[in-house]
Amino acid sequence: EDQVTQSPEALRLQEGESSSLNCSYTVSGLRGLFWYRQDPGKGPEFLFTLYSAGEEKEKERLKATLTKKESFLHITAPKPEDSATYLCAVQASTNQFYFGTGTSLTVIP
C-alpha cells in the first residue's frame, strides 16, 4: 500500500536551532517526492521536487534530501517566519499523489 509518514508531528525550535523533519514512504514506482509548506488557512506552497535517491535541493535555510525509503527536510538556523506545517508527498507510478499529515514547525524568537 502506498503511504507517507511524517515525523515528528510537531516540532518547537528556538530561533537558530537547526533540525530535520522526516518523511518515510512506501510507494510503487516513485515518480517524485515533493515538499510543501502550508501556512494556516492557506494552500500548500511548493518547495522542492526530488526524483532519485541521493538527490539534494536547497532553498535559503531549507535543504531536502532523498534516499530509497525516506526524505529529510533540514532546516538550518531557522527564523520565526519559517513557522508553518511542512507536508511531504509522493507521486506513484499510477501518477497519484499521496500526502503525509505534515510536521507543524514552530520557531520561537
Would you state the torsion angle of the CA atoms of residues 57, 61, 73, 84, taken in this order, to the nearest 10 degrees?
A: -130
Task: Decide if residue 103 touches other proteins (CB under 8 A).
Answer: no
What's the residue count for the chain? 109
**According to CB under 8 A, which one of 2, 11, 24, 31 is a site residue for other proteins?**
31
**To the nearest whole angstrom, how small is the minimum distance from the Cβ of residue 84 to other proteins?**
14
Say how far apart CA 25 and CA 22 lie, in whole Å. Answer: 10
CB closer to other proteins out of 9 and 15: 9
Say how far apart CA 63 and CA 76 lie, in whole Å. Answer: 8
Contact residues for other proteins, defined by CB under 8 A = 30-32, 34, 36, 41-46, 49, 51, 87, 89, 91, 94-102
